[in-house]
């Protein structure tokens, strides 16, 4: 299954708000009812702040999604509640601006595969 591509953080917030409402028993973004590893890319969006494209993984926790939506509503802008973060293994991504580590928000820099680029160019 291809990941869902969203335009920006506001579209991401809208999708995640709907997810929280439509899947009240899901404990993570992939809809699982119990926590389980899932590093599959689930959502892709472009940051309006950095201009980079990021992927949100299926095992992103419900708790972190709720925190993202709450912060976005509190600040009136989903883009300002995320900040860049670098992991020890050199990966970069976004975390909630109120945190110093991911805490269940699994959002990493997204590199399109060459095949995807050829398909989109055609």
Q: Is residue 119 part of a domain?
A: no
Residue 121 lies in a domain: no
Residue 1's pLDDT band, with cuts at 50, 70 and 90, is low
Residue 120 domain-assigned?
no
d(CA 43, CA 6): 7
Phi-psi region of 10 (alpha: psi -120 to 50; beta: other; left: phi over 0): alpha
Please indicate, yes or no, if residue 15 is contained in any of the structural domains.
Answer: yes
Count of domains in the chain? 1
Predicted confidence (pLDDT) per residue in 72-100, tens digit: 999 999 999 999 999 778 889 999 999 99
10 part of a folded domain: yes
Least confident of 9-13, 21-25, 105-109, 114-118: 114-118
- The boundaries of the domain holding residue 83 are 4-112
Q: What is the pLDDT of residues 50-76, one digit of tens each?
A: 999 999 999 999 999 999 999 999 999
Alpha helices per DSSP H over 1-122: 9-22, 62-75, 114-121
User: Within 10 A of 113 (CB to CB), how many other CB atoms are there?
Assistant: 8
∠ CA 47-39-82, nearest 5°, is 25
Tell me whether residue 32 is in a domain.
Answer: yes
Return all residues near 18 (Cβ < 8 A) that are at least 6 apart. none
Q: What percent of the chain has pLDDT over 90?
A: 83
Assigned domain for 58 exists:
yes
Percent of the chain with pLDDT over 70: 91
């Amino acid at each position: 299954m291809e990941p869902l591509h969203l335009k920006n953080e506001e579209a991401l917030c809208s999708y995640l708000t709907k997810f929280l409402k439509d899947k009240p028993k899901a404990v993570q973004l992939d809809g699982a009812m119990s926590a389980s590893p899932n590093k599959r890319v689930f959502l892709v969006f472009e940051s309006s702040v950095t201009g980079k494209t990021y992927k949100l993984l299926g095992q992103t926790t419900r708790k972190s999604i709720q925190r993202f939506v709450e912060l976005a509503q509190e600040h009136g802008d989903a883009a300002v509640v995320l900040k860049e973060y670098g992991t020890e293994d050199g990966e970069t991504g976004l975390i909630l601006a109120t945190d110093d580590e991911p805490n269940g928000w699994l959002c990493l820099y997204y590199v399109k595969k060459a095949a995807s680029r050829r398909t989109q160019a055609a």
